[in-house]
Amino acid sequence: MVAKKNKQTAQEEVKQEAQEPVVENNDLLLETQEALEAEKNKFLRLFAEFENYKKRTAKERIELFKTASQEVMVALLPILDDFERALSELNNDDDKLTGIHLIYNKIFDTLKQQGLTKMEIEPNAVFDAEIHEAITQLPASDKHPKGSIIDVVTPGYKLGDLIIRYPKVVVAK
With a threshold of 0.75, does the pTM exceed it?
no
pLDDT of res. 2: 52
> Any bridge partners for residue 166, and if so which?
none
> Any bridge partners for residue 162, and if so which?
159
Average pLDDT for residues 20-25, to the nearest whole number?
65
Percent of the chain with pLDDT over 70: 84
Which listed CATH number (3.40.190.10, 3.40.1190.10, 3.10.20.30, 2.30.22.10) goes with 70-172? 2.30.22.10
Q: How far apart are CA 76 and CA 114, in angstroms?
A: 13
pLDDT of res. 22: 59
Average pLDDT for residues 45-60, to the nearest whole number?
94
Per residue in 120-159, pLDDT (tens digit) is 998 788 999 899 999 999 998 888 888 899 999 999 999 8
CA angle 166, 172, 173 (to 5 degrees): 115
Q: How far apart are CA 162 and CA 63, in angstroms?
A: 10
User: What type of residue sits at position 147?
Assistant: G
Q: How far is CA 76 from the centre of its chain?
A: 25
Q: How far apart are CA 116 and CA 113, in angstroms?
A: 7
User: Which stretch of 26-30, 50-54, 62-66, 163-167 has the lowest confidence by average pLDDT?
Assistant: 62-66
Q: Three-class SS of residue 124?
A: coil
Contacts of 139 (CB under 8 A, 6+ apart): 172, 173
Check if the beta carbon of residue 81 is closer than 8 Å to that of residue 165: no
What's the chain's average pLDDT?
85
Domain limits of the chain? 1-68, 70-172
Check if the beta carbon of residue 127 is closer than 8 Å to that of residue 166: no
Highest mean pLDDT among 64-73, 118-127, 162-171: 162-171
